[in-house]
């Protein structure tokens, strides 16, 4: 255990109240999207953009005003021109990826593609204006965007800054369309399936409420990938530099996880039982407990506000459930999976139960490895090291260790 930890965690990079306001806007946006007849993908994008409004009003504008007071405005033409070249090159590379890979040509994105002649020029102009304004206000040094422009112009470039910039764009290009697809699918689902009138009476009720929680999660997650704005201090400091970190993260998402699950981790089997019977007194509490842990998972995403992003180090979150443990999302999600699956395991043969439990343990092991890799990158930030010391002293598991009188010397855990 790290000694000398503070009595309270470091300040969170963004306030919990601001994040709750953003979540409320997203919830309202999802409700309106479901009630509307707007194409689901366009509606999902609108929900994500609207969800950023509280963070921009209460956090982003404060950062912007402080930058204006401290630095003023200074336009340096040569540096800006190089960054504009970098922006154009990045746009061409992203456009090429969108044109090549089949995922971006799914039917769910058809309406967005058809509207591209309207929104693409506006986005391009906004991006160029943003580059000019952000550079003139922040007067950033030779960052990744500059490095890309310099490389395109045949000038010397910062290799580390360039690699970090390119990794960041790959993260956004992979995850944002995926979150948009999930959110659009959820909107389409809720348009077709009405809310249950008697909650917790069947597994169908559970699936409806569970999907509602995860609809909020993917909308908030996608919002984070849209908001990597240096102007508001929401930029990516470091994208995951190791292959191991990328593998244990990407394996948890489509298209990788379905293939891995079918081949190695198919813990759900037809040989298992049917869960807790609906007429059992334990059925409703069982469903409620699973939903409660999935709600904790959602609250962990809420706590990030506009700063959510896989495979990156942006800023340190210490509010909401992160005040009590370093990995509330992974803990809650895995506990929810075990709560859901255990009655099915116990309803079948001993062999099928053992096999299912072993496979689900494999899934949990992936998330343990994922947490370890994330901590390795986050420890580059001194704020995270202070936060980690606080959790080691005051987190949930620290209290459990003391209650059980377990040794804590040199203790480092994924908590």
Q: Please give the full DSSP string across 321-381, using - where no structure is assigned.
A: GGGT-S-HHHHHHHHHHHHHHHHHHHTS-HHHHHHHHHHHHHHHHHHHHHHHHHHHHHTTS
**How much is the average pLDDT of 390-403?**
90
Give the residues across from 150 on adjacent strands: none
Q: Is residue 414 part of a domain?
A: no
Query: Burial level of 383, CB count in 10 A (0-12/13-18/19+)?
Result: middle
Domain total in the chain: 1
Q: Is residue 393 part of a domain?
A: yes
Q: Are 215 and 141 in contact (CB under 8 A)?
A: no
Q: Check pLDDT > 70 for residue 3.
A: no
Check residue 238 and report its DSSP letter. Answer: E
Check residue 144 and report its DSSP letter. Answer: H
Check residue 232 and report its DSSP letter. Answer: G
Cis amide leading into 58 (omega within 30): no
Retrieve residue 175's tokens: 């995850």
Q: Is residue 413 part of a domain?
A: no
Query: Model confidence over 361-378: pLDDT tens digits?
Result: 999 999 999 999 999 999
Q: Is residue 325 part of a domain?
A: yes
Q: Is residue 10 part of a domain?
A: no
Q: Check pLDDT > 60 for residue 333.
A: yes
Query: Model confidence over 227-240: pLDDT tens digits?
Result: 999 999 999 999 99
SS3 45: helix
Give the residues across from 239 on adjacent strands: 312
**How much is the average pLDDT of 183-206?**
88
Q: Are 325 and 397 in contact (CB under 8 A)?
A: yes
Helix H or strand E encompassing 313 = strand 312-313
Helix H or strand E encompassing 389 = helix 382-394
Give the residues across from 312 on adjacent strands: 239
CA distance 4 to 390: 9
User: pLDDT value at position 113?
Assistant: 94
Q: Crossing angle for the helix pair 16-35 and 40-51, nearest 10 degrees?
A: 160
Q: Is residue 4 part of a domain?
A: no
SS3 318: coil
Q: Is residue 11 part of a domain?
A: no
Q: Is residue 1 part of a domain?
A: no
CA distance 31 to 24: 11
Q: Sign (positive/negative) of CA torsion 19, 22, 28, 34?
A: negative
SS (H, E, C) 265-305: CCCCCCCCCCCCCCCCCCHHHHHHHHHHHHHHHHHHHHCCH
Query: pTM of this prediction?
Result: 0.93
Give the range of the structural domain holding residue 328, as residue numbers without chain letter. Answer: 16-403
User: pLDDT value at position 215?
Assistant: 98
Q: Would you place residue 411 in the very low, low, confident or very high pLDDT band (cuts 50, 70, 90)?
A: very low
Residues 137-173 as b or e (16 or more Cβ within 10 Å = b): bbeeebbbbbbbbbbbeeeebbeebbebbbbbbbbbb
Check residue 202 and report its DSSP letter. Answer: S
Query: Model confidence over 5-63: pLDDT tens digits?
Result: 678 899 999 999 999 999 999 999 999 999 999 999 999 999 999 999 999 999 999 99
Cβ neighbours of residue 24 closer than 8 Å, sequence gap 6 or more:
none
Query: Model confidence over 138-175: pLDDT tens digits?
Result: 877 778 999 999 999 999 999 999 999 999 999 999 99
């Amino acid at each position: 255990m790290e000694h000398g930890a503070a009595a309270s965690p470091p300040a969170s990079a963004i306030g919990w109240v601001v994040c709750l306001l953003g979540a409320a806007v997203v919830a309202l946006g999802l409700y309106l999207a479901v009630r509307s007849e707007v194409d689901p993908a366009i509606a999902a994008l609108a929900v994500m953009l609207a969800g950023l409004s509280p963070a921009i009003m209460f956090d982003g504008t404060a950062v912007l005003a402080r930058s204006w007071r401290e630095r003023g405005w200074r336009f340096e033409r040569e540096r800006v021109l190089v960054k504009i070249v970098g922006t154009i090159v990045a746009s061409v590379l992203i456009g090429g990826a969108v044109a090549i890979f089949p995922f971006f040509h799914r039917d769910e994105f058809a309406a967005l593609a058809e509207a591209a002649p309207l929104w693409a020029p506006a986005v391009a102009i906004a991006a160029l204006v943003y580059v000019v304004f952000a550079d003139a206000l922040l007067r950033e040094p030779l960052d990744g965007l500059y490095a890309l422009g310099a490389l395109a112009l045949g000038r010397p470039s910062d290799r580390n800054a360039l690699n970090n910039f390119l990794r960041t764009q790959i993260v956004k290009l992979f995850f944002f369309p995926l979150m948009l697809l999930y959110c659009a699918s959820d909107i389409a689902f809720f348009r077709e399936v009405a809310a249950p009138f008697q909650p917790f009476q069947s597994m169908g009720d559970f699936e409806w409420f569970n999907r509602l929680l995860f609809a909020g999660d993917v909308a908030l997650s996608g919002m984070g990938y849209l908001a990597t704005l240096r102007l508001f201090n929401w930029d990516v400091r470091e994208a995951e530099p190791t292959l191991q970190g990328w593998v244990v993260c990407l394996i948890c998402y489509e298209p990788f996880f379905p293939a891995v699950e079918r081949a190695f981790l198919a813990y759900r089997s037809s040989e298992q039982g049917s869960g807790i019977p609906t007429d059992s007194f334990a059925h409703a509490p069982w469903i409620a407990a699973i939903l409660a842990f999935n709600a904790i998972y959602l609250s962990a995403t809420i706590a990030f506000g506009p700063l959510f992003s896989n495979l990156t180090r942006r800023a340190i979150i210490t509010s909401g459930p992160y005040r009590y443990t370093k990995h509330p999302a992974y803990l809650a999600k895995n506990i929810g999976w075990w709560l859901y699956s255990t009655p099915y395991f116990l309803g079948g043969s001993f062999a099928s139960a053992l096999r299912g439990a072993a496979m689900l343990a494999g899934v949990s092991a992936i998330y343990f490895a994922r947490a370890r890799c994330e901590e390795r990158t986050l420890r580059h930030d001194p704020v995270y090291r202070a936060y980690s010391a606080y959790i080691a002293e005051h987190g949930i598991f620290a209290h459990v260790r003391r209650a059980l009188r377990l040794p804590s010397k040199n203790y480092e855990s994924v908590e």
